[in-house]
Structure 1
């Protein structure tokens, strides 16, 4: 689960750049937060019950949590990604992709921030990019 400041921006990032689909959304207005579940190759699901059941029964689902109001709070400094020296802990998510280099070109064109490009470092076949909230995403070639 990753906490996000702006769910619209985050969902657009994962759907447009990574080909994911929003499976379902769960709102908790009394607690002032919402959950968003995204995945790949999501089949058409007619009811909310089917979408919820699907989200909790398949591997590789990404859960995003939005605490209401953070998207408009100018004093909100964002979440810690777990990769800052003073906040080490959570590292990153990994996504297997068909072609790391091609996806990196797409991400580069979209202005994404890279931590490591495929031609850098010792492991030439992988890359790391950040999402809108600064979380690291490892891009791994299928069959790696």
Structure 2
């Protein structure tokens, strides 16, 4: 059997990213790993409902933003309270693209990664 485990985003400012993911999506750390030499830290975020996690990789010596190319990839979430969540994200100023025809929108995290919000149906 093969099943999904986690997805990774490399982040420039771990604390800023942790705050964003907690505030915007209510994701919280479920486990961490720190390199013995202090060169990196991994923080796995969970939604409390599934086993899938988002791994945030923080390289301590990294100073320049990551090049995400054309950002032709994204992570997606089903949202039960879609209208309330949309309103919160609008107030936070993090919506980067809306597709009303499909009934979805995207938010952008502090590093520029896109996250799709899909209403639960």
| Matched residue, 2:96 | 115
Residue 79 (str. 1) matches residue 86 (str. 2): no
1:49 aligned partner: none
Show CA shifts across 1:6-48 (max 9, x none).
0101111111221111111100143711101001127xxxxxx
| Maintained 8 Å contact 1:37/1:61 | yes
Structure 1 or 2: larger strand share?
2
Residue matched to 1:95: 77
Partner of residue 133, structure 1: 111
* 1:87-141: CA deviation from partner (whole Å, max 9, x where unpaired): x6x50001111133321211121221x232253xx31x11111111000000011
Q: How much is the aligned-residue C-alpha RMSD, in angstroms?
A: 2.0
Normalised to the residue count of structure 1, the TM-score between the two structures is 0.70
- CA distance, structure 1, for counterparts of residue 23 and residue 114 of structure 2: 17
Q: In the alignment, is the contact (CA less than 8 A) between 2:38 and 2:60 conserved in 1? A: no
Residues 11-50 of structure 1: matches in 2 within 5 Å?
A: 11-30=18-37, 32-41=39-48
Aligned equivalents of 2:40 and 2:56: distance in 1?
A: 10
TM-score when normalising by structure 2? 0.82
- Corresponding residue SS for 2:32: strand
Deviations 1:62-89 (A, max 9, x none): 111000033xx3xx1x11234x2xxx6x
1:53 corresponds to: none
2 CA distance for matches of 1:36 and 1:79? 18
